[in-house]
Structure 1
Amino acid sequence: MNAATNTAAPASYKGWAGIRRAFGTPSALTMLLLGLGSGLPFLLIASMTLSTRLRDVGLDLGSIGLISLASFFYLLKFLWAPLIDRYRFPLTAFLGRRRSWLLFSQLLVAASLFALALTRPELGVAALVAWVLVGSFAGATQDSVVDAYRIEIAPASAQAALAATYTLGYRFGLILGGAGALYLAEFQGWRWAYIAMAGLMLVPIVTTLACREPDVPEATVVRRIDFIGAFWQPFSSFFKNNGLALGIVLLLFVGLFKFPDQVIGVMSGPFYLDSGYTKADIATVSKLYGIWTGIAGAFLGGVSVAAFGFRRMLFVATLGVALSNLAFLLMAQYPSQIWAFYAAITADNLCQGFAGVVLIAFMSSLTDRNFTATQFALLVSLANLPGKFVGGVSGYIVEASSYSAFFVFSALTVVPTLLLLAWLWRRIREPVKESPAEAT
C-alpha cells in the first residue's frame, strides 16, 4: 500500500483497460481501507445511529436535535485544513505530513467511540456531548487528510478509480457504523456496539502505518507560503478565479444543494422508531439495503455526469434531493408496513447517492489544485452547514406540527436552490478533457 515513484513512462488510466489498471494499484486498496475509517464513525457521532440511541433511551426529540449540533466540527473542518496542508502533526511528525495527521485523528476517533460506549445518556448528556465534540473534530480531521492523501498519491488520470474505491470503503464504514451498530445494540446493547466500532478503527490505523507518505514536490505553492498565507490564500484564490459575485453565488448554491435532505437527517432515526419499526428493521432496510441502493445511485450519477455534463445533472439532482423526501409520507401514512419502508428508502437513497456524486464532481471542478484540501474542505462544510443548523431544531418543528407536514416543508426548501441554479446556468463551466500537457 504505497505510492512509489515511477521512473518509467507513466501508466495510462484511460478507457476500460486503464480503469481496471487503476483499480488494481496498491493505492486503490489503501483508499478503500482509509475510506472505511472515514465512514465508520460518522453515523455513530454525527447522524442517525447516535440519534436512534438517544431516542431508544428515552430522550425527547427537541433534545436529540440540539445534541446533534455537538457534531458541528464536521462542518467547520476548513478552518484548520490550512494547517493540515502546511504542517506535520508534532507528536507523529516522523510519519510525514499526511500520515502524521491521519494517525493522530484515527487514534482520537477510536478513543472517542470507546468513551461514548461508557456514557449513560439516560442519566445525563454532558459527558456524551463532550465526547461527540472530540469525535467530530477527529473525524472531520481524518476526512480532510484522506481527501488530500487521495489527490497526492496518484496522478489526476487515476483519481476517478481512487475516488470510487474510497467511496466504496466509506459506504462499508457506513454499513458497519449503521447496520452493524444497530444489530449489536439490538442483541448486545449500545455499550458493546460502540466498543466494537472503536475496535474496528484498528483497520485504518494499521493502513496508515503500512502505507507510504505521498511524494509532493517541494516547489508547490503551499510550501512557499507562511503561516498567515496558509489561511488566506486558499480563499483569495477561489474569488480570484471566479470573481466576487459568481464566487458568492457558487458558495450559496453549494450550501443549499443538500438542504432538503439534511433538514430531515436528524429526525430519520426517531421517525423510524416512532413509526413502529424495530432497530433490526432499521438496520436491514436503512443501513444495509439503503447503503447498496445509495451505491447504485452514486454509480448512476457518475455515468450521467460523464455523459451529460454538470448543468442538467445538477438540475435533476436538485429536484431529486427534494422530491425524495415526499416518499417518507408513505411511511407516515402506513406505519409499521415494511413495504412502505423499502419504498421510501429506495427513492431517498437512490436520489441521495446520485446527487452526492454530482455535487462532488461539481465541487472538485471549483478547486484550485494548489489548495485542494482547504478549498474542498470549505465546500464540503458549506454543503452541510445550513441543513445542520436547521436540523438542530427539527425536533421542535415536528413536535409543533407532524412528521407529514415536516416532510412537505423540507421538500419546499428546494425553491431557493433552483433559483440560484437558474442564475448560474450559463455561467457553469462544464468539465473538459485534459490536454497531454495538463495530464503531465
Structure 2
Amino acid sequence: MTSRAVSFSPVAAARALGLYLRPRPLAAFLLGISSGFPLTLLLATMTYWLSKVGVDKKTIGFAVGLTTPYTLKFLWSPLIDRLRLPVLDGLLGQRRAWLFLVGLLLMGAIWQLGHSDPVTQLGRFAAWAIIVAFLSATQDIVIDAYRIEILPPEQLAHGTALNQFGYRTGNLLAGAGTVWLATQHGWAAAYSLTGLLVLCGLVAALWAGDTAHSRTVADAPRSGEPVPARLARWLNDTLVGPFAEFFRRNGVSGALLILGFVLIYKLGDAMANIMLSPLIVELGFTDDQYIAANKLVGFWALIAGTALAAPFLSLVGMGRALIITGVLMMVTNLGFAVLAMVGNDPVVLGLVIGLENFTSGLGLTVFVTYLSGLSNVAYTATQFALLSSLAAVGRTWLSAPSGILAENLGWVGFYIVTTLVALPGLVLLWLIWRRSNTGPQSV
C-alpha cells in the first residue's frame, strides 16, 4: 500500500481530523460494532455465564475452540466474493445482500443460544455457539470487504480507525453491557437484546450504499460457451483467481515476504499479552488495582492510540508507521519485564498497561489499514480474509507455547524473549522496503 508522508501543519492536522466526520468513516464505525460484539459474547461473556451457573472449568474450555472459524474463514471467503444471492442481490447488490442474509441468521442464532440452558441442554448450547461463531466469522468476511470498498483511499485510515472504535464499542456492549442486562432480565433476554447490535451494520450498509464490486462480480456467459466450460471458468475465478492475482501482483518472492510479515509481525505482542493476566495475579495485584489500571488508564490510552492512528499515518507514511509501531511494541514488552522486576507497584502497573493499550490502539489500526491496502477490490473478501486469518494464526497458534516459556525462563526472561521475537517481523518489513526500491513510503 502506498501512503505518502506529509509535512505537519495545523491545517493538515485539522483536515485529517475532519475526515473522521465523513459519512463513510462513520458507517465504518457502525460496521465495527456489528463485527466486534459476537466474539466477546462467545468468549468472555459466555464463559462468565457458564461459570455463574456452575459448569465445570474443563467444559468451559471448549469455548477456546470457537476461535477456529476466525482463523479458517479464508476457506469459504471465495464463495462470499463470487456467489450472488437470488432476489437480495438485485435489491441490495452483492456485498449488502450477503451482509443482510448473514446478519439476520446471526441474530437468530444468538437468540437460540441465549434461550439454550447450558446446565440441562449443554449439547444444544454448544451447537448454537458453534453456529454463532461460524456466522460471526462469515459476517467479518463481508464487513471487512465492504468496509474497504466503500472507503476512498484518502479516508481508508480514518475509516479503519473508526472501525476499530466501533469494534471496541461492540466488545464493551457485549461484555459489561450483556452481563448487566442479564442481572436485570436474565441471560435469554440479555443475549437477544445484544444480538440486535447486528442492526448497526445493516443500517450502515443502507446508508453507505452499494460498492463497485457488486457491479463487476457478474459472470455473464460467453457466446457459445458450454455450461461445463462456464462452470470450470467460474470455479477458477472463484477459488484460484484471488490467490493467483495476489502472487502475480506482488511476485512470488514479494507475496511470500508479505505473508510472512503478516504472520509474525504481532507475534511478540501476542505472546506478551497472553501471559499478562497470570503475571498480574502472580505479582499480587488486587482485582480493584487491575480494574483501575484498565478502566482509568488502559481504556483511554487505547482510545487515544486509535484516534491518533490516521493523522499519524498521514504524517509519517505507512512504512514508517509500521516500523515505529513495531518498535513501540518491543518497548511495551520491555515494560512488562520492568514490571516483573519492580513487583507489586500500582503506579508502574498503570504506566505499563497505559503504554501497552496506547501502542495496541495505534499499532492495530495501522496494521489493519496496511492489510486493507493489500487487497485487490476485485477479490477483497478473499484476500483480506487470507491476510487476517494469517494474522490470527500468529496471535493464537504460534503464541501457544508462551506459558511453557514463562514457566522455564521466569517473567523477566520471558518478556525479554518476546521483545526479541518481534525482530524477525521488522526484518521482513525492511526486506519489503528494499524490494520496493523506492523507500519506506511505498510499503
TM-score, normalised by the number of residues in structure 2: 0.75
Mapping for residues 390-401 of structure 1, pairs under 5 Å? 390-391=398-399, 394=402
Partner of 1:99: 96
Describe the shift of the 1:416–1:157 C-alpha distance in structure 2 as closer, same or farther (beyond 3 A).
closer
2:3 maps to what in 1?
none
The match for 1:38 is 35
1:75 to 55, 71, 75: 71
1:149 Cα shift?
2.0
* 1:282-293 correspondence to structure 2 within 5 Å: 285-286=293-294, 289-293=297-301
What is the SS of the residue equivalent to 1:389? coil
Distance 1:369 1:268, change over 3 A: same
User: Pairwise mapping of residues 163-312 of structure 1 onto structure 2 (< 5 A)?
Assistant: 163-181=160-178, 194-208=191-205, 210-211=206-207, 213-216=209-212, 220=216, 223=219, 226-265=234-273, 277-278=286-287, 285-286=293-294, 289-312=297-320
TM-superposed CA distance for 1:31, in Å, is 2.5
Residue by residue over 1:232-262, the C-alpha shift from the partner in whole angstroms, topping out at 9 and shown as x without a partner, is 1111111112211221121011110111233
CA contact (8 A) 2:95 2:211 kept: no
Specify the alignment match of 1:435 in structure 2: none
Moved more, 309-318 or 375-384: 309-318
Work out whether residues 73 and 137 of structure 1, in 8 Å CA contact, stay in contact via their aligned partners in 2: yes
Deviation at 1:276, TM superposition (A): 5.3
Q: For the Cα contact (< 8 Å) 1:65–1:391, is it kept in 2?
A: no
Q: Which structure 1 residue ranges, 5 or more long, are not aligned?
A: 1-13, 433-440
Aligned mates of 1:289, 1:182 — CA distance in 2: 22
Q: Please report the RMSD computed on the Cα atoms of aligned residues, expressed in angstroms.
A: 4.2
Query: Who is 1:87 aligned against?
Result: 83
> Taking structure 1 as reference, are residues 343 and 131 closer, same or farther at Cα in structure 2, changes over 3 Å only?
farther
Counterpart Cα distance in 2 of 1:108 and 1:22:
33
Query: How many correspondences in the alignment?
Result: 416
Question: What is the 5 A alignment of 1:330-349?
Answer: 338-349=346-357
Segment drifting more, 210-219 vs 75-84: 210-219
- Greater Cα shift, 280-289 or 257-266: 280-289
The structure whose Rg is larger is 2
What SS does the corresponding residue of 2:141 show, helix, strand or coil? helix
Which residues of structure 2 form unaligned runs of 5+?
A: 1-10, 221-232
Give a deviation string over 1:350-376, Cα, whole Å, max 9, x none. Answer: 111221122223323433232223212
- Compared CA separation, residues 221 and 176, structure 1 to 2 (3 A): closer
Give per-residue Cα distances to partners, 1:374-395, cap 9 Å, x unaligned.
2122111111212211455656
Please tell me whether the aligned partners of residues 13 and 311 of structure 2 are also in contact (alpha carbons under 8 angstroms): no
Larger RCO of the pair (alpha carbons < 8 Å, separation 6+): 2
**Residue 362 of structure 1, aligned match among 362, 370, 390:** 370
Which AA in structure 2 matches 1:304? F
After the TM superposition, which of the residue ranges 401-410 and 373-382 deviates more from structure 2?
A: 401-410
